[in-house]
A and B are shown apart, each in its own frame.
Chain A
């Protein structure tokens, strides 16, 4: 099974900060990686698919990069609505989620 490891687990930041979350796969997954945002009590929302493709309607301050085993999600200028938990997910071989990164207000 492919394991996904996110870092950090928690991130404290100010509005306007540039934020980067890293996701590492236990083996190469090419670019079969998605990023989701989840707010408390809500369903996850797809942000990025196939490593760097922005889902329709998602603000352009979100971007994804990487391939193989290392990936990043970057939020260019953190907005109040962005404080949430973010998950990566591989879909190279079935599906696996990372453990999540909570982005908190500093």
Chain B
């Protein structure tokens, strides 16, 4: 089955860390660039980060630069988002998505709530 499944979300205090995972199946994961996109409650979509198919290039939105890192394990078809120094404004559903240009496949998302 062709799908992306996120996990690792939860409630975390400000300043703490969290690592999200996105398990891919049913397609050749190692040939696609992968992204994280987030959506705060009741708000629009915000692109967060990208990693090239081979991990050679990464880029981050200004809002998370220096705090978040993106990585991938092509042997195990998994994408990661390491989130450090979390803030209240990072509260959102985090979705992984596939695509070197437009995003043609999305996961259902995992919720991250940053609150004391």
Q: Which residues of A are in contact with B by a Cβ distance under 8 Å? A: 1, 32, 34, 36, 38, 42-46, 49-50, 55, 85, 87, 89, 91, 94-100
Contacts and interface: CB of A to CB of B under 8 A. Distances in A.
B59 A89 contact: no
Interface stretch (B9-17, B22-30, B67-75, B103-111): B103-111
B95 A43 contact: yes
B103 A46 contact: yes
7 contacts: A36-B103, A38-B45, A43-B107, A49-B104, A85-B44, A87-B45, A95-B50
A8 B107 CA distance: 28
B50 A94 contact: yes
A95 B47 contact: yes
Nearest to A9: B44
Given A34-B102, A89-B102, A91-B101, A100 B45 contact: yes
Nearest to B106: A43
A45 B35 CA distance: 15
> Which 7 interchain pairs have the tightest Cβ spacing?
A43-B106, A34-B102, A49-B102, A95-B47, A100-B44, A97-B45, A99-B44
B112 to A, nearest CB: 16
B46 interface: yes
